[in-house]
Amino acid sequence: MKKLLVVAVSAIVLSGCITSNQQGGTLIGAGVGGLLGSQIGNGTGKLVATGLGVLAGAMAGQAVGQHMDRPPTIIYRESAPQSNNQCSDIENDGVRSSCERGLADRRRELQKQSEQRAYQCSRHGKC
């Protein structure tokens, strides 16, 4: 019971130092892992089990916290052109090819702009 109280008080005191979920997960995981590890074995074996519990708990907590820190995925969809065959009415092969390249370039530019907006939104919060 005293161990649990010490861990709880330590977690509350250290929570003011936590700046990300990854750090918090590492601390909480290490505390829980150490507490569980200390329940196993006697003497030196108990010390080793506690150390391994701290390491395993810290690694698991860090992974969970890192997952929680990831920004949400935002998908931007641009309105598609009205007709996919805007150039199909052109009979001259060279002109039709040039028209299709122009459409591809415009689509590529729209995709680039969408990716830049998504980056700005997720990285800088400028949505």
pLDDT in tens, 83-117: 556 777 888 888 888 888 888 899 999 999 988 88
> Tokens 């108990």 — which residue?
46
- Residue 17: pLDDT band (50, 70, 90) is low
The Cα–Cα gap between 9 and 15 comes to: 10
Give pLDDT, residue 1: 67
Which pTM was predicted?
Answer: 0.45
19: Cα separation from own chain's centroid = 16
Top pLDDT among 24 and 101 is at 101
Rounded to 5°, angle at Cα 93 from 88 and 99: 55
Top pLDDT among 121 and 15 is at 121
Give pLDDT, residue 15: 63
- Please determine, for residue 34, whether its predicted confidence score (pLDDT) is greater than 90: no
Residue range 1-22: average pLDDT? 69
Give pLDDT, residue 39: 87
pLDDT in tens, 51-85: 888 888 889 988 888 888 777 666 655 555 555 56
Measured over the CA atoms of residue 89, residue 91, residue 94 and residue 97, the dihedral's sign is: positive
Top pLDDT among 35 and 78 is at 35
105: Cα separation from own chain's centroid = 32
Top pLDDT among 92 and 10 is at 92
Structural contact between residues 57 and 34, judged by C-beta atoms closer than 8 angstroms? yes
